[in-house]
Amino acid sequence: MDSILITGGAGFIGSHLVRHFVNKYKQKYRIVNFDKLTYAGNLENLKDIEDFENYIFVKGDIQEYNKLEEVFYEYSIKSVIHLAAESHVDRSIENPMEFVNTNVVGTINLLNAAKKIWKGKSDHLFYHISTDEVYGSLGEDGKFIETTAYDPRSPYSAAKASSDHFVRAFYHTYGLPVIISNCSNNYGPFQFPEKLIPLIINNIINSKPLPIYGDGKNVRDWLYVEDHVKAIDMIFHNGVRGETYNIGGDNEKMNIEIVTLLCDIIDKKLNNIGSSRLLIEYIKDRPGHDRRYAIDSTKLKTELKWRPENDFSIGLEKTVEWYLNNKEWLASVTSGDYLKYYKKYYEK
């Protein structure tokens, strides 16, 4: 079996991707999940596949080049799907250097390892997962396309933009076979509750304030995580080397719309009609808060025939249902109790 290295595979998107590949390609691929297990990486997310023969977990940090090289050699890595990254904008404002070290230096380490070990083989692939935030902020009209000029506004998006540039540089300079995709905001099960949707769900469940930055009218395009994973699968197998693909959900929503929708959905499910909206609290806007993102996925839809399958209302219902049915997971990750699971990994 060919070995695929998935970095950040214990995180939100990464765990969905690992599970998808492990289950779908049992006889074709061996999946090596390489994850540092930070606060957002949780092996409980993958408990259902941990004993599968085509799945291997390796604890490691992409900032440690020697460890990466060791993994490349030990498992004869043929392809990389690179998701490992610091991804929370608020944290990047507090500590930009952490984002530079992980998102930029870590990516260069991976690129260098692939360049050295693959030695110009064209049947390999370095697939880099990025974000729409690298494009900056939109006005009321228009959408990001693959050729939109980069204009990052936060330390997070600046670090991701830099990593994108390095991936392209390795393609043009060294001939490393690469693909990049830039996605819109993901949502769904297993997302750590620092991001908007799981944060609001968790706060409603616990009757805590629902914080809204500024006037709440910042717009994002929302992509259900399983739709994103299927797009990654399609791009991985059929995408053209050296190309970039935008992945969007065709679901533009204002933040305040998301919050009120969640209030109404959860109140209905918990028979608390009208009470959750009272928890909404407007707070000072975040520095450099981009007003609007919107992804144009025409290239992906036209060339690779991908379409998002989950309408936002359906995806949001499924997401809420999952969190309400998995309150123990939610309480565990917010309290840090997940550290007691797989202790041998977390204590290393």
Q: How does pLDDT run along the chain (348 residues), one tens digit per residue?
A: 999 999 999 999 999 999 999 999 999 999 999 999 998 899 999 999 999 999 999 999 999 999 999 999 999 999 999 999 999 898 999 999 999 999 999 999 999 999 999 998 889 999 999 999 999 999 989 999 999 999 999 999 999 999 999 999 999 999 999 999 999 999 999 999 989 999 999 999 999 999 999 999 999 999 999 999 999 999 999 999 999 999 999 999 999 999 999 999 999 999 887 799 999 999 999 888 999 999 999 999 999 999 999 999 999 999 999 999 999 999 988 876 656 655 555 454
93 within 8 A of 287, measured Cβ to Cβ: yes
Structure tokens at 33: 């999940």
Selected catalytic residue, list 133, 146, 227, 250: 133
Selected catalytic residue, list 156, 323, 338, 342: 156
Answer yes or no: 227 catalytic: no
Superfamily of structural domain 2-187+223-250+288-312: NAD(P)-binding Rossmann-like Domain (3.40.50.720)
Among candidate residues 284, 285, 297, 294, the one with its CA nearest the CA of residue 235: 297
Answer yes or no: 133 catalytic: yes
Structure tokens at 50: 């941990």
Selected catalytic residue, list 132, 146, 226, 250: 132
SS3 of the chain = CEEEEEECCCCHHHHHHHHHHHHHCCCCEEEEEEECCCCCCCHHHHHHHCCCCCEEEEECCCCCHHHHHHHHHHCCEEEEEECCCCCCHHHHHHCHHHHHHHHHHHHHHHHHHHHHHHCCCCCCEEEEEEEHHHHCCCCCCCCECCCCCCCCCCHHHHHHHHHHHHHHHHHHHHCCCEEEEEECEEECCCCCCCCHHHHHHHHHHCCCCEEEECCCCCEEEEEEHHHHHHHHHHHHHHCCCCCEEEECCCCEEEHHHHHHHHHHHHHHHHCCCCCHHHHEEEECCCCCCCCECCECCHHHHHHHCCCCCCCHHHHHHHHHHHHHHCHHHHHHHHHCHHHHCCHHHHCC
Cα 236 to its chain centre, rounded Å, is 16
- What gap in Å lies between CA 300 and CA 177, rounded to an integer? 19
- What gap in Å lies between CA 235 and CA 241, rounded to an integer? 10
Among candidate residues 260, 192, 251, the one with its CA nearest the CA of residue 222: 251
Structure tokens at 230: 């299927």
What does the domain layout of the chain look like in residue ranges?
A: 2-187+223-250+288-312
Structure tokens at 73: 């050699």
Classify burial at 182, counting beta carbons within 10 Å of its beta carbon; exposed 0-12, middle 13-18, buried 19 or more.
Answer: buried
Answer yes or no: 245 catalytic: no
pTM: 0.95
